[in-house]
Structure 1
Amino acid sequence: MHGFMKAARFGLASAGLLLAGLVTAMTLVQPARADEAAPAATLTIHVENVSKGGIVRLGLYDEHGYRTENAKPVASADIPAVEGETVIVLRDVPPGTYAIETYQDVNSNDKMDLTWLGLPLEPYGFSRDARPILSKPGFAKVKFALQAGEQAQTLHLRSGVSILASK
């Protein structure tokens, strides 16, 4: 009898541990509820005035990243240029206030080519089609609100020559 009671107690204890383990495991693998998941946005960017050849390089920046030299963008894309219009889709972007910087790397050398005065030699653009005057436009001129769901932005590339012509 003593051996049986010992075995029964061990069996109950094991069953209890097993049950506790299963409950814990079920809690850990339970899918997140919809109200706990952060909403995401899909941003479609229509880059117009694209010339033939090269790569359209685009960065999506928050305010801090936009103002900081060599900052990592929140999202980026390097897409082969499609003459006329290149469409870039950024998925799973957290909602927020952002700015877009883009340029067409016509010679595919992974950098924006500049004149000796620092003016762009390759086509470039900013969100809200902001025009720079001797430096990139401030965040207030390029910012836009990105909300959960799908949203689109259109911007037009311009060349360094158009900086001088736009005054």
Structure 2
Amino acid sequence: MQAVQKAALAAALSSLVLMGAGSALAGDVVITVTGVQARGGDLLVGLQNAAQFMKHEGDHGEIIKAPAAGTRVVTLKDVPPGDYSVSVLHDLNGDQQMALANGMPAEGWAMVRGETLRAAPTFDQVRFTVPASGDARVNVAMQYPSVR
């Protein structure tokens, strides 16, 4: 993520825990987050649709307090069908925003296909679909800055 734009990444990962109302045609989204490190802080997991992407908005989310190292699984209920991005922030300092150092992430983060990103993502690069027929499963791998 050498060329990540500071404002774009901070906006995408900062306020991920807003909850929305359920829908008659809604399913569960099961998010498997791999590579979580036990660094303290909270893990913020959230969904954003195309209109909310890279903004301080979101419809569904969860906070995992002081996550243990390993894999964490989050189930978000009653998500309407459509395209979404999933964003995860390992918020070490408790400010619910991505901390940056020299324009680069200073806290752990994850998005769909995040390991392939080399710049701020577009919605199409990180989206997945919740089908009208039911539930969706998404796997994301945490990316952490090197500890120095």
So what's the TM-score if we normalise by structure 2? 0.73
1:39 correspondence with 2:25? yes
Return the alpha-carbon distance in structure 1 between the equivalents of residues 50 and 43 of structure 2.
Answer: 22
Question: Counterpart of 1:4?
Answer: none
Aligned length: 121
Deviations 1:86-122 (A, max 9, x none): 111100111110011111113434332110x221111
Q: Do structure 1's residue 154 and structure 2's residue 143 form an aligned pair?
A: no
Moved over 4 A (4+): none
The SS at the match of 1:141 is: helix
**Pick aligned residue for 2:48 from 36, 61, 66:** 61
Q: CA deviation at 1:59?
A: 1.9
Alignment partners' CA distance in 2, 1:150 and 1:128 = 20
Q: Which runs of 5+ in 1 are unaligned?
A: 1-36, 162-167
Amino acid at match of 2:116: R
Structure 2: 5+ residue runs without aligned partners? 1-22
Distance in 2 (alpha carbons) for counterparts of 1:109 and 1:137: 22
How big is each residue's C-alpha offset from its partner over 1:53-87, in whole Å with a ceiling of 9 and x where there is no partner? 221112201111104x32x2021111121311111
Match for residue 91 of structure 2? 105
**Contact 2:98–2:106 (Cα < 8 Å) also in 1:** yes
RMSD: 1.8
Contact 1:49/1:84 (8 A) holds in 2: yes
Alignment match, 2:12: none
RCO comparison, higher one (Cα < 8 Å, 6+): 2
* Cα distance in 2 between the residues matched to 1:59 and 1:111: 13
1:143 maps to 127
Structure having the larger proportion of residues in helix: 1
* Identity value in percent: 26
With the length of structure 1 as denominator, give the TM-score of the two structures.
0.65
Q: Distance in 2 between matches of 1:159 and 1:108?
A: 17
Partners of 2:95 and 2:52 lie apart in 1 by 23
